[in-house]
């Protein structure tokens, strides 16, 4: 019987949870957002079974595989998603929220280094945060899409372990895959 | 350029400008495959040359195989590429991909390129492959860009494969065949043996003559038959049919039962008679009409189309004609939300005369789109009517491109620059004069 709040805005009535990162930082998060991290949800539900009184800020959920910087970003992304328990918006409000979210997403991706992106994906995978995983996977795919092989190698630091003649032969054999690409 | 990346999982990264640790290759297989599923099949395959580690992922391609050659087809049509050469490459692409594909099931198999019966052995093999992988959505779009191509040379769908009970097509939910010879008997066979079939679209099959859609458990929701030259008759008894489309010559059209029909697309007016009892339940309607006479297009008397929300009319018109005949149709749908009209204008110089038209306030129309706006009396009159009568209009889009150019990868305006400029100026003038609060977009 979890406490579902009708209003997504933070208030004293909505339950919060505390998440502890690998570098020992504590994050207080609204339950609605934290529940998007299915790993957290699972942990919370397991805990609940053992102690009915445990609620909100008294429960600290450890996340030894997630660093604070990464968790901060994931939480902030999670907040921008449509909340499942929010009051239904009318069409206009929905549209404004959508536009805001798009702007936020663009800002987020603009300055993201490949390493940071991978951290976010690994963390989202560990937390089983489906929407985050999809978003960041797509962002990663966008860095590969339509880019030359050299660019992708450089960007991600992938070491080419093909022999030059091996690679040439491969490219010739599968010529259909290597044309029409942005050389940048 | 490189910021210090904070570690997780106890790994440290050197904050040097030269070396970026290759962390992406260290992600587990499932995660990389999941990223690759966001790429097109071609691009996913290309990652195999990044390094040997990436080559290992190659067999686990995405479950949706979409070989889209639309862009290449337009390049061929413009004379920039050779069909022979490109076809060979395309065949190799598909065959190589299928050969290395190790997934056990696929959801979608789509090929869009110009093929004819000459490639039959290849295409037959692709169909076998797709069926063996339990494909759900199968689409073969072999649209021939040359309109006078000999239709008897089109690829023949392999009847023999399906008439024996060995092949399992039970997973099929959607079948789209364009410029492929398929018979009515085979389609009926699919309908009786694919319990999940929801969507059937056939375009340009000269072997399709008769079609009998019946079956109480038929899940069919979408049925469109377009430009099948020898098509003669169709009977429909489809309890779940929601969308029906027919474009072609006059045929015997009997709709015995389609209680859930919501959307209709028809190529001309004669079909109205057969569908008359269904018009009043439709939510969306798409028509193609001609308008060459001075009076313009005329519709039969309609009672109120209370459910109609979307209306699209494609008009083949000559300059001196009038589009005002569309107004009674718009007015017959008091709850119409969106109106799209596509104008294909043939210029025959008739004298242009301004006509008076009575305007009734239209409260529900929210969105209007005009494709092929020419900025001549014929369409300006209609646009002015719409702007003045639709008091709650939210958006109007004026698209200056001709209708058949919209949607293709490298649009090339059929009109001369002078005509295009004239249309654009007329659209700008309308934008300035309009009094509604609507968003006015010129494309």
- Provide ipTM, 2 decimals: 0.77
Note the pLDDT of residue B415: 56
Instruction: Report pLDDT for B356.
Output: 66
Chain B residues in contact with chain A using a Cβ-Cβ cutoff of 8 Å: 2-3, 5-9, 13, 19-25, 27, 31, 34-36, 38-40, 42-43, 45-47, 49-54, 89-90, 92-93, 96
Q: How far apart are CA B305 and CA A70, in angstroms?
A: 55
What's the pLDDT score for residue B10? 34
Helix-helix angle B83-99:B70-77, to 10 degrees: 170
Judging contacts by C-beta atoms under 8 Å, the chain B residues touching residue A162 are: 49, 51-52
pLDDT of A175 > 70? The answer is: yes
| Phi and psi angles of residue B25, each rounded to the nearest 5 degrees, phi first | -70, -15
- Structural Rg of chain A based on CA atoms: 21
Residues of A with CB under 8 A from a CB of B: 22, 65-67, 69-70, 113-116, 118-119, 121-123, 125, 133, 137-138, 140-141, 144-146, 149, 152-153, 155-162, 167, 170-171, 174-178, 181
Burial class (CB in 10 A: 0-12, 13-18, 19+), B12: exposed
CB-CB under 8 Å, A177 with B42? yes
Local confidence pLDDT in tens for the 443 residues of chain B: 344 444 343 333 434 444 677 888 888 888 888 888 788 767 787 888 888 888 888 766 656 788 988 888 888 877 888 888 999 999 999 998 888 777 777 888 999 999 988 899 999 999 999 988 888 899 999 988 776 677 788 899 988 877 765 556 788 899 999 999 999 999 998 888 888 899 999 999 989 999 999 887 789 999 999 999 899 999 999 999 999 999 988 888 998 888 999 999 998 777 777 888 888 899 999 998 877 777 777 777 777 888 999 999 998 888 778 888 888 888 888 899 999 999 888 765 655 666 667 777 888 888 999 998 888 888 888 888 888 888 888 889 988 887 776 666 555 545 567 777 888 888 888 888 877 778 888 88
Residue A178: its chain B contacts at CB < 8 A?
Answer: 46, 49
Does A66 sit within 8 Å of B49, measured CB to CB? no
Residues of B in contact with A69 (CB under 8 A): 6
Mean pLDDT over the full length of chain A: 78
Under DSSP, the state recorded for B345 is E
Closest chain A residue to the Cα of B27, Cα to Cα: A122
Q: Within a 10 A sphere around the Cβ of A38, how many other Cβ atoms? A: 12
Q: Residue B290's pLDDT is what?
A: 79
A93-107, A169-183, B209-223: which has the minimum mean pLDDT? A169-183
Torsional sign, CA B273, B274, B277, B283: negative
* pLDDT per residue as tens digits for the range A149-166: 888 888 888 888 888 899
Identify the CA nearest to A7 among candidates A29, A30, A28.
Answer: A30
Q: How many CB atoms lie within 10 A of CB A137?
A: 22
pLDDT of residue B302: 74
Answer yes or no: are the C-beta atoms of A59 and A43 closer than 8 Å: no
CA distance B86 to B45: 19
pLDDT band at A4 (very low <50, low <70, confident <90, very high): very low
| Chain B: closest CA distance from residue A178 (Å) | 7
C-alpha to C-alpha distance for A4 and A13, rounded to whole angstroms: 10
Interface test with A, best of B24, B28, B56 (most A CBs within 10 A): B24
Contact B329, B298 (CB under 8 A): no
* Helix residue ranges per DSSP H, A114-183: 114-127, 130-144, 149-156, 164-173
Task: Supply the pTM of this predicted model.
Answer: 0.66
Burial of A155 (0-12, 13-18, 19+ CB in 10 A): middle
Cα B22 from Cα B52, distance rounded (Å):
14
What whole-number distance in Å separates Cα of residue B369 and Cα of residue B308?
Answer: 17
What pLDDT is recorded for position B406? 66
- What's the CA gap between B290 and A130, in Å, rounded? 51
Which pair of tokens denotes residue A81? 């998603």
**CA proximity to B282, closest of B250, B254, B245:** B245
For the record, the structure tokens of A114 come out as 């490949």
Round to whole Å and give the CA distance between B24 and A118: 7
**Helix B83-99 vs helix B120-132: crossing angle, to nearest 10:** 30
Select from B323, B367, B326 the least CA-distant residue to B345.
B323
Joined together, the tokens standing for residue A155 give 């960007």
Q: Mean pLDDT, to the nearest integer, of A77-100?
A: 74
């Amino acid at each position: 019987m979890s406490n579902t709040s009708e209003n997504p805005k933070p208030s004293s009535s909505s339950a919060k949870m505390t998440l502890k990162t690998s570098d020992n930082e504590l994050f207080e998060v609204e339950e609605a957002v934290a529940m998007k991290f299915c790993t957290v949800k699972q942990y919370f539900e397991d805990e609940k079974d053992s102690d009915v009184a445990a609620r909100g800020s008294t429960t600290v959920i450890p996340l030894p595989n997630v660093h604070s910087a990464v968790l901060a970003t994931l939480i902030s992304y999670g907040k921008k998603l449509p909340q499942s328990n929010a009051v239904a918006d009318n069409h206009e409000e929905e549209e404004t929220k959508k536009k805001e979210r798009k702007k936020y997403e663009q800002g987020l991706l603009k300055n993201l280094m490949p390493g940071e992106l991978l951290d976010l994906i690994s963390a989202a995978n560990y937390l089983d945060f489906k929407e985050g995983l999809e978003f960041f996977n797509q962002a990663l795919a966008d860095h590969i899409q339509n880019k030359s092989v050299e660019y992708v190698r450089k960007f991600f630091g992938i070491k080419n372990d093909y022999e030059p003649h091996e690679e040439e032969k491969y490219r010739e054999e599968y010529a259909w895959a290597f044309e029409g690409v942005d050389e940048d | 350029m490189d910021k210090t990346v904070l570690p997780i999982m106890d790994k440290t990264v050197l904050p040097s400008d030269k070396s970026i640790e290759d962390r992406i290759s260290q992600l587990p297989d499932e995660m990389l495959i999941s990223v690759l599923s966001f790429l097109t099949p071609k691009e996913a395959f290309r990652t195999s040359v990044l390094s040997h580690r990436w080559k290992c992922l190659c067999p686990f391609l995405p479950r949706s195989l979409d070989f889209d050659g639309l862009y290449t087809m337009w390049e061929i049509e413009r004379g920039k590429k050779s069909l022979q050469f490109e076809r060979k490459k395309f065949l190799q692409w598909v065959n190589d991909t299928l050969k290395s594909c190790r997934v056990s099931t696929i959801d979608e198999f789509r090929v869009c390129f110009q093929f004819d019966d000459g490639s039959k052995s290849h295409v037959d093999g692709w169909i076998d492959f797709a069926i063996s992988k339990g494909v759900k959505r199968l689409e073969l779009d072999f649209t021939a860009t040359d309109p006078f191509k000999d239709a008897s040379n089109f690829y023949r769908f392999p009847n023999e494969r399906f008439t024996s009970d060995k092949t399992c097509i039970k997973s099929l939910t959607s079948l789209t065949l364009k410029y492929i010879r398929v018979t009515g008997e085979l389609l009926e066979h699919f309908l009786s043996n694919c319990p999940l079939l929801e969507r059937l679209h056939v375009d340009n099959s000269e072997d399709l003559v008769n079609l009998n859609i019946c079956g109480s458990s038929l899940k069919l929701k979408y049925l469109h038959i377009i430009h099948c030259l020898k098509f003669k008759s169709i009977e429909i008894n489809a309890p779940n049919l929601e969308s029906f489309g027919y474009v072609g010559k006059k045929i015997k059209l009997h709709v015995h039962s389609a209680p859930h029909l919501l959307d209709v697309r028809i190529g001309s007016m004669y079909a109205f008679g057969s569908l008359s009892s269904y018009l009043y339940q439709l939510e969306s309607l798409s028509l193609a009409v001609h308008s060459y006479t001075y009076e313009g297009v005329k519709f039969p008397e309609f009672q109120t189309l209370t459910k109609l929300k979307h209306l699209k009319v494609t008009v083949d018109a000559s300059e001196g004609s009038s589009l005002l005949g569309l107004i009674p149709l718009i007015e017959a749908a008091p709850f119409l939300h969106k109106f799209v009209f596509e104008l294909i204008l043939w210029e025959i110089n008739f004298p242009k005369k301004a006509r008076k038209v009575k305007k009734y306030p239209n409260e529900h129309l929210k969105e209007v789109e005009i494709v092929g706006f020419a900025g001549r009396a014929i369409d300006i009159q209609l646009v002015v009517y719409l702007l003045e009568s639709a008091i709650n209009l939210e958006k109007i889009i004026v698209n200056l491109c001709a209708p058949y150019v919209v949607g293709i990868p490298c649009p090339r305006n059929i009109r001369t620059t002078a005509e295009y400029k004239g249309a654009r100026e007329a659209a700008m003038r309308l934008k300035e004069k309009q009094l509604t609060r609507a968003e006015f977009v010129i494309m």
